[in-house]
Structure 1
Amino acid sequence: MVGLGSPRTGTIDAQSRAPFGWAPLVVLFIVGLVDRIEHNLLSGVLPLIQAEWGFSDTAAGSIPTAAALAAALVALPAGFLADRFSRTRIIAIVVFVWAIATLGSGLATGFAMFYMMRVVLAAAENIDNPASGSLLADYYPPASRAKAYGLTRVTTYLGGVGTLLGGVLAEAFGWRTAFLVMVVPGVLTALLVWMLREPRRGELDRLVASGEPVSAAAGAQQVKEAKPPFWSQFGQVIRIPTLVFVCIGLSFLTLGLAGIFYWMPTLMVRDYGVSVGTAGSLSGLITIVGTLTGTLVGSWLGRKWHGTRKGGRLLAGGSGITAGSLVLAGALSTDSIGTLTVLIMLSSSLMSIAIPNMTACLADVVSASARGLGFAVLQLLITAGGAFGSLVVGIASDQLGSLVGGMYILVIPMVVGGLVTLGARASFERDARKVMDDARS
């Protein structure tokens, strides 16, 4: 598989929807899926870990909060690295570190060691995101970016596979098994990424803007470009209005999703009387089916509305987030596990419409030389937004004696996130046009 991601014809065709083939997308999808499965194992096994070590809901809710804060600390440095060094190598090394941290989680001898391993895992996970986001924009042109980003970002919510896997394995073989089985996929994925061909930064944007073909050999030659100082580049990125709106909108959404879906299996066990395995399976089913459905619909809407409606992708994403948040509020009021499952699945589908559209929009409005940092800013704000969701629900549960009460608190910022996303429509066309103009010069 040497040369994985090289153009089949030897020439980079900017008119093609996949000039480098679909192999890079498949590899980066696998990276995201392994990442989220490892991350979400904890949600599925949490009741058994609490039973073994006896820590409170507040302590349990603080695990993802501490992990998210550690991840936030590395987000901007990760963007700096992604804009200056080989992105495929960065991702491969980071994925290997994930595998080691997951192994440490399964072998933890106490709560403190387990806690530390989850923090290390989260920090490592955040390092690959800017590199992956930047790579996709150099593999795929604007016309197919919604599909590319949709399939990779959908893995954020396909973490339900981890919840399902964790719950089933924990009930059958003990909670440690759930972590240990994920070590091998992590190592194999790292080797796969190492084989990916590194595309030249911005080459595809220049081809799309000029319409001129280029040989694969020429496209593979990396030209050393002078980079502005970090803080100067950071200032340029955060002055892009669309990026700011998209990042804020997604951070509010993530605040709610992180808290609600982290505690969903535990809610099902406590309030609906189902087993740990059943709760993990239902939670996993909700996120898998709901997210896949929403992403497919979102990709279709994004392709249909992009260029035909003002900020069409943002219209689809913002509307989906707002409607999905309101459906989620209704789901939390039901007493039936069946109704809860169906409504939350519908809510997930609606909110997932945003996945392919908002990340594609961000790639369209940030120049190739700064995309790593652009995605780092996105990841920083998403991580910061999600850092406190689980903790808010945990504290509210301890104080009110109700997980549902804490979950309701988080619906409000999710609705706000949808409305903020809709506000980004005003600046998108102008920001995207500037990127193409810069690529021509």
Structure 2
Amino acid sequence: MAIDVAAPARRVFPCVVFALTFGLLLSDYMSRQVLSAVFPFLKQEWGLTDTQLGSLTSVVALTVGVLAVPLSLVGDRWGRARSVVLTAVVWSLATIGCALAAGYGHLLAARLLIGVGEAAYGSVGLAIVLAVFAARRRAALTGAFMAGGSFGSVLGVALGGVLAAQFGWRWAFAAMGVLGLVLAGLYWAVIGERRLTAYKIEEEGSGQRRAKLSTLFSTPAVVLAYLGGGLQLFIAGSLFAWLPSYFNRGYSMAPDAAAKVAAVFILIMGVGMIVCGAVADRADSQATAAIAFCVLSAASLAAGFALEPGGAQLPLLAVGCFFAGGSTGPTGAMVARLTHESIRATAFGTYTFFNNLLGLAAGPLVTGILADRLGLETAMRYVPLVSVAAIALLIAGRAAYPSSLARIAR
């Protein structure tokens, strides 16, 4: 039976969808990034190396990257709302499993299961959000939605640091897992497949057909958006994982204080993603906007990490963090523009694959390996250099964008 959609509900329901989907994204990243706040506790209690600590972060992103496409395809076929609830339950239970870990191996296995749960959430959740809003708001919505990763990381790091200092690191994981289960239950009660279908905004030319999966890679511009956007997130992944430890070691802060300071910088990154997404929606070229954000981030972070820890360094790091994730909104909008709505969750799953493989998985692990050999302060000086490759890919994508749009039109 079809749902009759009144005008007031047409305005309110999309906002409810965004709020609950964004809330679960916060839970997603709180469960993922709470680990960074307890690095010092694990290093002291279990004697883990920086490479092992980095692997505990990277295994989640790597699992997300590997499984994002197949599980996003399941979401497109089986039902996006059902997929969201199931994945949230999986990552929440796995996070509670982290609290019960008896050693590094157990914790690594639990973190891998978190990645299984989170693999399709970002792509399916973003597809749900974009389906109920007008196309002209894509970059702003994509940037705002993906900023949930930064805000969730802030909450995970800050709250996790406080809980770990007061009650022990296991309680930090347990609290994040319980929160995820509560939000999953709320999502199941409020949002369903029939409602999403009733409020979906049909796109011009989409019709009822289902696009072929080969169209995920049908144009050079979309491939370069996957690669350039993913590589830029190497910077964000390294900052998410290692800023608490950087302030702990470089500034001789206590672990909970270092987590709080790092949370401020990660919050700045989230605000930057929202602002940059809104700016990109108003720019003549979203590809040009993405390139500009990458350049500003790389220059500021390179200058900041070149300085010794101290007051002069902090403003540069703040500017670099503000623009570090700024490319996510415009590159995500490019992916949406260059793929068909019927497979959009799968398209964002492909985008997530590259974001995690090249960025969120590679960043923490590579930085941890460098830190074991060179020290964390020196390792962080190399992180901004990755933006050079991202910028080159995005410049090539900008050049290919007009012809790729023409190919889509044909």
Task: Give the TM-score taking structure 1 as reference length.
Answer: 0.84
Q: Which residue of 2 aligns with 1:285?
A: 264
**In 1, distance between residues paired with 2:372 and 2:249?**
14
Q: 2:60 aligns with which of 47, 57, 67?
A: 67
Where does 1:224-239 land on structure 2 (aligned, <5 Å)? 233-239=212-218
**In 2, distance between residues paired with 1:59 and 1:10?**
52
Structure 1 contact 99–182 (Cα < 8 Å) conserved: yes
1:384-429 deviation per Cα after TM superposition (whole angstroms, max 9, x unaligned):
11322222222222222x1122222322212321332233223435
Q: Which residue of 2 aligns with 1:215?
A: none
Amino acid across the alignment from 2:7: T
Amino acid across the alignment from 2:262: S
Q: Which residue of 2 aligns with 1:395?
A: 369
* Structure 1 residues 425 and 38, CA gap change in structure 2 (3 angstroms): same
Deviation for aligned residue 1:118? 0.8
- My pick for the range that moved more, 90-99 or 75-84, is 75-84
Structure 1 contact 7–19 (Cα < 8 Å) conserved: no
Structure 1 contact 19–139 (Cα < 8 Å) conserved: no
Amino acid across the alignment from 1:302: A
Q: Which residue of 2 aligns with 1:317?
A: 290
Structure 1 contact 78–130 (Cα < 8 Å) conserved: no
Amino acid across the alignment from 1:319: A
Deviation for aligned residue 1:8? 3.7
Q: 1:196 aligns with which of 187, 191, 194?
A: 191
Q: Which residue of 1 aligns with 2:333?
A: 360
Q: Which residue of 1 aligns with 2:156?
A: 162
SS at match of 2:308: coil
* Structure 1 residues 124 and 112, CA gap change in structure 2 (3 angstroms): same
Q: Which residue of 1 aligns with 2:242?
A: 263
Q: Which residue of 1 aligns with 2:226?
A: 247
- My pick for the range that moved more, 119-128 or 70-79, is 70-79
* Structure 1 residues 297 and 154, CA gap change in structure 2 (3 angstroms): same
Structure 2 contact 92–181 (Cα < 8 Å) conserved: yes
Deviation for aligned residue 1:140? 1.3
1:304-340 deviation per Cα after TM superposition (whole angstroms, max 9, x unaligned):
21xxx2xx22211221112111110111122244333
Structure 2 contact 219–407 (Cα < 8 Å) conserved: no
Q: Which residue of 2 aligns with 1:101?
A: 94
1:271-307 deviation per Cα after TM superposition (whole angstroms, max 9, x unaligned):
2111111110011001113421x134313312321xx
Deviation for aligned residue 1:201? 10
Amino acid across the alignment from 1:370: I
SS at match of 1:265: helix
Deviation for aligned residue 1:196? 1.2
Deviation for aligned residue 1:90? 0.2
What 5-or-longer segments of structure 2 have no aligned partner? none
1:45 matches 2:38: yes
Structure 1 contact 67–122 (Cα < 8 Å) conserved: yes
**In 2, distance between residues paired with 1:355 and 1:157?**
12
1:15-64 deviation per Cα after TM superposition (whole angstroms, max 9, x unaligned):
xxx68531111111111111111111001111111111111112112222
Q: 1:79 aligns with which of 53, 56, 72?
A: 72
Q: 2:377 aligns with which of 371, 386, 404?
A: 404
Q: Which residue of 1 aligns with 2:280?
A: 302
**In 2, distance between residues paired with 1:356 and 1:262?**
22
Deviation for aligned residue 1:164? 1.4
Q: Which residue of 1 aligns with 2:391?
A: 418
Structure 1 contact 6–197 (Cα < 8 Å) conserved: no
Q: 1:34 aligns with which of 27, 42, 54?
A: 27
**In 2, distance between residues paired with 1:335 and 1:280?**
20
Structure 1 contact 154–295 (Cα < 8 Å) conserved: yes
Where does 1:333-344 land on structure 2 (aligned, <5 Å)? 333-344=306-317
Q: Which residue of 2 aligns with 1:15?
A: none
Query: More helix by proportion, 1 or 2?
Result: 2
Q: Which residue of 1 aligns with 2:131?
A: 138
**In 2, distance between residues paired with 1:175 and 1:337?**
29
Amino acid across the alignment from 1:346: V
Structure 1 contact 68–123 (Cα < 8 Å) conserved: no
* Structure 1 residues 209 and 103, CA gap change in structure 2 (3 angstroms): same
Amino acid across the alignment from 2:91: W
Q: Which residue of 2 aligns with 1:383?
A: 356
**In 1, distance between residues paired with 2:309 and 2:51?**
27
1:325-363 deviation per Cα after TM superposition (whole angstroms, max 9, x unaligned):
111011112224433332222111123332322212211
1:177 matches 2:158: no
Task: Give the TM-score taking structure 2 as reference length.
Answer: 0.90
* Structure 1 residues 168 and 280, CA gap change in structure 2 (3 angstroms): same
Superposed CA RMSD in Å reads 2.7
**In 2, distance between residues paired with 1:163 and 1:356?**
24
Q: Which residue of 1 aligns with 2:304?
A: 331
Q: 1:57 aligns with which of 50, 58, 70?
A: 50
1:115 matches 2:108: yes
Q: 2:144 aligns with which of 137, 146, 151?
A: 151
Amino acid across the alignment from 1:300: A
Amino acid across the alignment from 1:236: T
**In 2, distance between residues paired with 1:289 and 1:6?**
41
**In 1, distance between residues paired with 2:234 and 2:162?**
27
**In 2, distance between residues paired with 1:197 and 1:430?**
38
Q: Which residue of 1 aligns with 2:7?
A: 9
Structure 1 contact 41–178 (Cα < 8 Å) conserved: yes
Structure 2 contact 356–362 (Cα < 8 Å) conserved: no
Q: Which residue of 2 aligns with 1:214?
A: none
**In 2, distance between residues paired with 1:333 and 1:397?**
15
Structure 2 contact 58–364 (Cα < 8 Å) conserved: yes
